[in-house]
A and B are shown apart, each in its own frame.
Chain A
Amino acid sequence: MTEPNQLNPARRQLLIRGAKAAASIAAAAGIASWLSDREGPGRGQKTEDRGQLPDFSAPRKDGQVLSIVAGQDRVKTVAKAIELLGGIERFIKPGDIVILKPNVGFASPPLLGATTHPDLIATVAKLCYQAKAKKVIVIDNPINDPASCFAISGIGKAATAAGAQVVMPKDNQFNPVTLKDGSLIKDWPVFYEPLAGATKLIGIAPVKIHHRSAASMTMKNWYGLLGGRRNIFHQDINGIITELAIMVKPTFVILDGTTSMMTNGPTGGSVSDLKKTNTMIAGTDMVAADSFGCSLLDLKLADLPYLSLAEKAGAGTVDYESLKPVRAEVA
């Protein structure tokens, strides 16, 4: 028996169910239209392009662009070389987060000269902390396994002993970068994360002969910031080194010519591959530093096409003498 002016339970239940049904349909339609994709997926893969690297370069000071110090003890010569450029205080200010980028490419002992000598890391890190840097970080994306490279080259230990932090490359620390006006570095993963948070960047490279690029010095050193299957760039080695020189703007670079690898580069393997050239170079102009470094390897400028390519692109000056390098000798 139903009361005509009262909803019987069955009818009410039906209405409730009806309302729920309508709500579900509405929800489904709402989600469908919110997520509706008219164009379908695009061709490219969606990755966040971080664009250009930060510009770490220091303001130019004529007469203090390049320093060349002769001497056998790299700890002494590097300190002198930096002093001649105006001292560490010119570059590192209190609170700076400094990235040191040495060559840690191979799991090779310091004796063989294939990697940056750990003494340089220790010295430069100490200098930075003396200038009241907040933190010094040492990075590289080695060719061999990172852990063994940092260990066997001695750089890991030297860094930690000097209070610097070693950051190993991990997949999620690479971001795609496209160099404006570049043709090789297009959407290419670069070891970006540590650089994004830093304020100063110092490159430290040994002088080595290189089978493919003729020499490996401060400009080639930035190859260690590339990720992905970067060996593809060996198809145009001069092009990639030039683009690296455009992309990376360090505060200054150190080129260690205390021992130069004259043969069998870049890995060397025998002490006989090395020659005691006893020269340390520091400067704010990578192209000039490398151009001088040529002479240590008995190479001509023409042997390194990337030098003039980089100069043409505005990354530096090949004629280093015109920069009036400051010379000194340390006993």
Chain B
Amino acid sequence: MKIVNVRRISQVFFFALFLWFCIVATVGERFWQIRNWPVNWFLQLDPLVAFGTILSTQTLYWPLLWALVTIALTIVLGRIFCGWVCPFGAIHQFIGYLGSRKKKVVEKIRLNKYRKAQSIKYLVLVFLLAMAAFPSWASTLATGLLDPIPLVTRSFTLVLLPILDSGAHLTSVANRYYEFSWLIFAVFATAVLLNLVIPRFYCRFICPLGAFLGIISRFSIWRIGKTKSECISCKMCEKACEGGCEPGGNIKIAVCLLCLNCREDCRHDLIAYQAQPSLAGETQADISRRGFVLSLASGVLAVPAVRLSGKVTSNWHSQVIRPPGALAEPEFLKRCLKCGQCMRICPTNVIQPGGIEGGLENLWTPVLNNRIGSSGCQLNCVACGQICPTAAIRPITLDEKTGQGDFAGQGPIKLGTAFVDQGRCLPWSMDKPCIVCQENCPVSPKAIYTEDVFSTVRNGIIAVKKVKDKTIEVDGGIEAGKLGTGDYFVLFEDGNRSKIVSNTDSFIEISESKQDVKKIEIQVRLQRPVVDIEKCIGCGICEHECPVSGKRAIRVSAEGETRSNDRRLLLR
């Protein structure tokens, strides 16, 4: 069996596994649902995730110990992760293959030439890591933006899967919506389409993980190299070279991704995966000192510069409502990979990728939008915290979320508080009965209570022609059938009220007899919702259910969220 075929099988296997993990990341017990599938395995194997979080939090969250496996294998064998495992790399390789299939051999060899620009990815790596490391009081984890595993994860789960599944609904119950997906898609599509220009474009020029692995593969025991120092230079070995490392000459070993195509294509058996450096010469990673210093400085300054906007402190955006269990903002930004797993698994589709309204660092971080999805944040669900690979959203228990059991003293986790927009609320301003928000408030006792008010309807003062028993005859001014809903009352001059049972356009039937009535007022009983901010947990179900469906008449914003001391609404 040819080793290159084994490699292809491996790439297909890991890609299929990755795709499967994307598909099953939805709550449920069927085999195509989450069960206990290790859906974060690729993110956990990714050493850039582990290393990035070590720099930003000075701890290594224990599930990320898997990264040691990748690191150990890379140190010993070289960049097998890139060539054999990485699903993003597999996509690039495949598209690159499709793009250059029809090209002549000479053209293919030219495309696979090593280019100095390939060291840009080291600068990307240094820049991202500097942002995570310095200064420690204002560091942010931006590696997730370009780290291939988070990137490909969010591209699939937040763009491709929802598009492909929008009719069949195999991976979710209803259409999934994700804001700002167009940008995620654009980045993904650009990266993929660039392979038509140069194969594995992203891997060669941009990928910070590849850069990292290239650096640590310095001491690998085995490497690709020539077994003779001279050959006829037919360059057949470079026809299908994935890394662009020029195995035919002085091999740029840090760039080699062990596709082993060169070994297969060499007609003279001169290329081997061997324990000695290539007899034609070997060069390590090419990082210019100037480039290193510039990237480092840029990374160090970038976060404080961005944070001048105050968006992480006093100028925080009230619509950045984070999922339950999220850490306070500065800590959260040190851990969030923008991988989109929380958005994927949220059963109500309420967690959305954020835009930059909360600052640049907010891009693609999880933000709740209660208008999207099936219901705001469900009371009995803690799925997002369970799936977050770096504990940016802590894996809280249901008890901690609802403030029961051991957490009864602390009370429930609040995401924010709901505010009634009285000018838009039907019972507050439009004389229309409605208490959908109060009915749907899931906490017990409810955080929305009502104040009963009787309000005379428009043109509601009506002269009475005659009254007999329980029937009042009026001279028009009322619409047949409209007043019998149980919400309408007749106010008599003596101050008493009686419920209207039914009406035609000239008769009103009330619930008790009345005599001697000259004039009545038709009133509607309005139950006006009031939020009890001590009980409100900001789950957004009220906002979701509000029938004023554009700009909702009750909206949640992040004041009062329990994750931040300085955003408290209440005294205690």
Task: Tell me, yes or no, whether A and B come into direct contact in the complex with CB atoms closer than 8 A.
Answer: yes
**A28 close to B (CB within 8 Å):** yes
Closest Cβ of chain A to B391, distance in Å, is 4
Q: A183-B572, A232-B571, A236-B571 are in contact. Are A40 and B71 (CB under 8 A)?
A: no
Would B568 and A43 count as touching, CB distance under 8 A?
no
**B328 close to A (CB within 8 Å):** yes
Would B571 and A40 count as touching, CB distance under 8 A?
no
Binds A, one of B148-156, B216-224, B290-298, B436-444: B216-224
Which residues of A are found within 8 Å of B571, using beta-carbon distances?
A: 184, 232-233, 235-236
Binds B, one of A15-23, A90-98, A112-120: A15-23
Cβ 8 A contact of A14, one of B68, B216, B275? B275
Would A13 and B65 count as touching, CB distance under 8 A?
no
Would A17 and B221 count as touching, CB distance under 8 A?
yes
Would B276 and A25 count as touching, CB distance under 8 A?
no
Q: A25-B76, A29-B68 are in contact. Are A40 and B566 (CB under 8 A)?
A: no
**B419 close to A (CB within 8 Å):** no
Would A37 and B62 count as touching, CB distance under 8 A?
yes
Which residues of A are found within 8 Å of B67, using beta-carbon distances?
A: 32
Chain A 1-31, CB-CB to B under 8 Å as 1, else 0, gives: 0000000001001100110110011001101
Which residues of B are found within 8 Å of A35, using beta-carbon distances?
A: 54, 58-60
Closest Cβ of chain A to B448, distance in Å, is 21
Q: A24-B219, A40-B394, A187-B565 are in contact. Are A13 and B331 (CB under 8 A)?
A: no
Chain B 5-27, CB-CB to A under 8 Å as 1, else 0, gives: 00000000000000000000000
Which residues of B are found within 8 Å of A20, using beta-carbon distances?
A: 218-219
Closest Cβ of chain A to B284, distance in Å, is 12
**B72 close to A (CB within 8 Å):** yes
Nearest chain-A residue to B331 (Cβ)?
A41
Interface residues in A, total, Cβ within 8 A:
31
Nearest chain-B residue to A28 (Cβ)?
B71
Nearest chain-A residue to B400 (Cβ)?
A43
Which residues of A are found within 8 Å of B220, using beta-carbon distances?
A: 17, 21
**A228 close to B (CB within 8 Å):** yes
Closest Cβ of chain B to A232, distance in Å, is 6
Cβ 8 A contact of B72, one of A28, A233, A235? A28
Most chain B CB atoms below 10 A, which of A32, A36, A42, A228 = A32
Give the complex CA separation of A37 and B218 in angstroms: 29
Most chain A CB atoms below 10 A, which of B65, B72, B328 = B72
Which residues of B are found within 8 Å of A184, using beta-carbon distances?
A: 571-572
Chain B 499-532, CB-CB to A under 8 Å as 1, else 0, gives: 0000000000000000000000000000000000
**B61 close to A (CB within 8 Å):** yes
Chain A 223-238, CB-CB to B under 8 Å as 1, else 0, gives: 0000011001101100
**A322 close to B (CB within 8 Å):** no
Give the complex CA separation of A194 and B568 in angstroms: 27
**A45 close to B (CB within 8 Å):** yes
Q: Which residues of B335-371 are within 8 A (CB) of A?
A: 335
Closest Cβ of chain A to B266, distance in Å, is 21
**A38 close to B (CB within 8 Å):** yes
Pairs A-B, 10 closest by C-beta atoms: A37-B59, A21-B219, A40-B391, A20-B219, A35-B60, A235-B571, A25-B72, A10-B276, A21-B75, A28-B71
Further 15 A-B residue pairs, CB within 8 A, beyond A42-B394, A45-B328: A21-B76, A28-B68, A28-B75, A29-B72, A35-B54, A36-B65, A37-B61, A40-B61, A41-B327, A41-B391, A41-B394, A43-B563, A232-B570, A235-B570, A236-B571
A residues in contact (CB < 8 Å) with B: 10, 13-14, 17-18, 20-21, 24-25, 28-29, 31-32, 35-38, 40-43, 45, 183-184, 187, 228-229, 232-233, 235-236
